[in-house]
Structure 1
Amino acid sequence: MSERLIGHQDFTDWQWLKARLIERYSLDTIETMYSLMIELYPHLVDDMEEYLGADEHLQLRPEIALSELKRTIESQYDWALSIDFRKPESQHVFWYRSEEKMEPRLGERYVESGADKELPVQVARSVKACHALILSDLLLHTDSDVVHFLLRHPDQISIVRRIQTMTPLIYGDIRANLADQDMQPMHLLRAKLSFFGVSKFDPKSRLWVRNTMFQGAPLISELDSGRDLDDWYFPVAPIG
């Protein structure tokens, strides 16, 4: 593919190549080519490994006007405000941490006990409740700022911190109702698990997912076999 696209060995017009890739090839092919292009310049990218970690902390801006926070929620969290949490199916499940493996698990709110141990992952519900409280608070305190709102409602500090921190981040929040009856955990896990080498998912139920890691990767004994092992991570095309 690269020979058809480039045509000569001293090619350096990567912007042209990028445009041609977007025109002709699938997203998987494009991302693979991007990875290969990056490897050509180790002196530029190797040090970036130090920046892959994230300094995760939530910041609070108490000085801004409460009306500004209201507008932020309405513009950035409109997806959360559109959910009707009065419907039983919108709060059907709850997330908790298992005692055996300390991993997140799902429970059915109207069938099982344990909702009192629910993990605080229901961002959409918390945002909508906070927004409703802001609306009622502004009726009495028109010119209020965030700090005085939080003094009156200290239980809202956590969600206000999250809103103010995540708003500038495109991928800061999962824009979905994680308690909905039709929510599938696999939809949340595919991206995360792919970083660990998971390429094949086999959902056995909505409660757990079986996966295959590093499928096709060579064994240690095969590394010196002389075979070309560079394409093992590509999916195998079905036969027949």
Structure 2
Amino acid sequence: MLDQPTPLPQIALRAPDVVMRLRRMGASFPTRLSFLRVLLRRLSAENAQVARPVWAMDGDGFGHAVYSVTFGGHVYSLVAVSTDLPPELRTDRVIASAWDTAYVLYDGVPCADEIARIVATAPLQEAARFTARDLVLSRANKSVRLFAHTVERLRAGQQPDADLVRSTGYLMRTTAVYGNGKFGIADRDVFATRDGMGGPFMAEMLTVWLIRGFTHDLVEHVGGAPLDAHLKRHLGIGNSTGLGMAPFLVSHPMLLNAWITARETALARVRAIETLEDAQIEVIYDLVKRAAQHLSEWQVPDHIGQQRIDQMRREWPQLAALMTPDAMTGRMPLDHLWLASAKFSIDTQECLAALLIEPFGNLVDDLCASMATEQHATLDPSMTCADLQALIDRDWAWAMCDYDQPEACHQFWYVSEAKAEPRLGLRHKEDGAALESPLDIARQVAGLVPHLQNGGSVAQLLARHPEHRAAVRRVQSLDGAPYAEIRDNLIGRACLPIDMLRCKLGFFGAAKFDPKSDRWTRITLCQGAPLRDELGNADNWWLPTFDA
């Protein structure tokens, strides 16, 4: 019998009733477990080289290019198409029909015929048809002001204004990055078993990183001169994300559980460290300084968002003051620090959680392998109603309230027919509740409870009340998955969808959240990430700062 590996020491994981509240989920920060970080570590480990076999751009930057990279024993190619977009057609809405640039991540190296096909179809996006060789479909628009400014400066033999680069942070922003079978592209199953591609959203993250490099090349081509490497490194990829992303976390509860479990286990392992070495303490001090600099550079127009950032700026020196030499050289220093942070805001606590994980890749990086899951919802008709009630009593007390009260059913989720996007309606003011999407998980489970009093089996219950089938399956399937459910009422007045967006985007690796309302936000991806020729140093860009 093979010896089993000795489990790493860890503190008890944080309780789901703490972790899975919307307000805390909405304070998420990127960590070394974020998918972009995982991807770039793998590219670095393989000494991956990015080639550009095709560059067919005119002087104004319109045409196409192909980038290829070998990864996990397979070659993947980004086909990038740049077109002349009239200003009146430029919009970041997902329902737009034209964009500055369009992209396909292709499985292999495309021949001339395949390039011609993609060049013709990629700009059409949803209106076109694609093949199983097309793995990811995306599009992006220019940040017109910064792109034009950079071109102007480069043509004049100068670099772009550093303050403008710092405040904008990207030359283009994507409006969608589609994977998993959308519009005829490959299902995830086509490549999920390949080396390096089994983690969540690996193909999409590879696409975004390659797009970021293309934006650098394009502006240098049009400007006729190279960008300063420091400025280039700070130019990531922007993204505008709205309600369309929010339902994902509800409809993929086992995946959410895998993500959160990995992060919480990482924090628990780090908190269990008995003593720190001097070099580890110095790294933590450096990260504390970096986080302070990041916070000082993070400005948003949103009043509530800026208030939260300002509070973090005030609290961060107080947190740093707790990290005295005596405290950091004592026993269980990180656990003591974590417990002491309870007096600070949720935002400061979650930033600290990300920071504590950062220096200890040797303890936590193995958890990345557990962040994808093939588990699916199942229903057990033989379970007794008494046992089902016991599961609800244990895991769902948070969902029990009077949903006839206007505050508790204030809003409803639906899909807009005109705009093909998830939307929120106000139940007591707007029509459409009859077409409600089933994101009212808490209400569904609460509505099931009165019918459990009659006893018997789940099969008998559902024979009498088939309308509760989804709620029963949800409760049963999430037994043993403590972080699978958002423990808040998603149709209540207090629900802010942006908290769900930030949680998911934090796992992607996003930073510089710039909320535009409680329903959509702008972010930056790959900011501070290594360039194509810098993969030898691929893992030191947590919370990037402009001065780094």
TM-score normalised by structure 1 residue count: 0.74
Aligned to 2:320: none
Asked if 1:217 corresponds to 2:529, the answer is yes
Name structure 2 gaps, 5 residues minimum: 1-275, 283-328, 339-351
Q: Deviations over 1:162-184 (max 9, x none)?
A: 10111221112111000111211
CA contact 2:280–2:359 (8 Å) conserved in 1: no
Aligned pairs for 1:64-213 within 5 A: 64-81=383-400, 83-99=401-417, 102-135=420-453, 138=454, 142=455, 144-213=456-525
Q: Per residue, is there more strand in 1 or in 2?
A: 2
User: What CA distance in whole angstroms lies between the structure 2 residues aligned with 1:80 and 1:94?
Assistant: 16
User: What CA distance in whole angstroms lies between the structure 1 residues aligned with 2:418 and 2:360?
Assistant: 41
TM-score normalised by structure 2 residue count: 0.35
Instruction: Please report how far the alpha carbon of residue 187 of structure 1 lies from its aligned counterpart in structure 2 after TM superposition.
Output: 1.3
Aligned residues: 213
CA contact 2:410–2:426 (8 Å) conserved in 1: yes
Instruction: Please report how far the alpha carbon of residue 199 of structure 1 lies from its aligned counterpart in structure 2 after TM superposition.
Output: 1.3
User: What CA distance in whole angstroms lies between the structure 2 residues aligned with 1:56 and 1:4?
Assistant: 41
Structure of greater relative contact order (alpha carbons < 8 Å, 6+ residues apart) = 2
Q: Which amino acid aligns with 1:104?
A: P
Task: Name the % identity.
Answer: 34
Name structure 1 gaps, 5 residues minimum: 8-15, 40-44
User: What CA distance in whole angstroms lies between the structure 2 residues aligned with 1:18 and 1:54?
Assistant: 36
Aligned to 1:232: 541
Q: Residues 223 and 100 from structure 1, CA distance in 2 versus in 1: closer, same or farther, beyond 3 angstroms?
A: farther
Secondary structure in 2 matching 1:89: coil
Q: Deviations over 1:125-170 (max 9, x none)?
A: 00010002223xx1xxx4x111111111111111101101112211
User: What CA distance in whole angstroms lies between the structure 2 residues aligned with 1:58 and 1:177?
Assistant: 21
Secondary structure in 1 matching 2:528: coil
User: What CA distance in whole angstroms lies between the structure 2 residues aligned with 1:62 and 1:197?
Assistant: 40
Instruction: Please report how far the alpha carbon of residue 101 of structure 1 lies from its aligned counterpart in structure 2 after TM superposition.
Output: 6.3
CA contact 1:96–1:119 (8 Å) conserved in 2: yes
User: What CA distance in whole angstroms lies between the structure 1 residues aligned with 2:281 and 2:447?
Assistant: 56
- Which is worse superposed, 110-119 or 88-97? 110-119
Secondary structure in 2 matching 1:60: coil
- Which is worse superposed, 201-210 or 23-32? 23-32
Q: Deviations over 1:71-116 (max 9, x none)?
A: 22122211111x2212112111111234466443222222222222
CA contact 1:215–1:233 (8 Å) conserved in 2: no
User: What CA distance in whole angstroms lies between the structure 2 residues aligned with 1:69 and 1:95?
Assistant: 27
Q: Deviations over 1:39-65 (max 9, x none)?
A: 6xxxxx49x74x532123212221122
CA contact 1:22–1:30 (8 Å) conserved in 2: no
Q: Residues 71 and 223 from structure 1, CA distance in 2 versus in 1: closer, same or farther, beyond 3 angstroms?
A: closer
Secondary structure in 2 matching 1:133: helix
Q: Residues 32 and 66 from structure 1, CA distance in 2 versus in 1: closer, same or farther, beyond 3 angstroms?
A: same
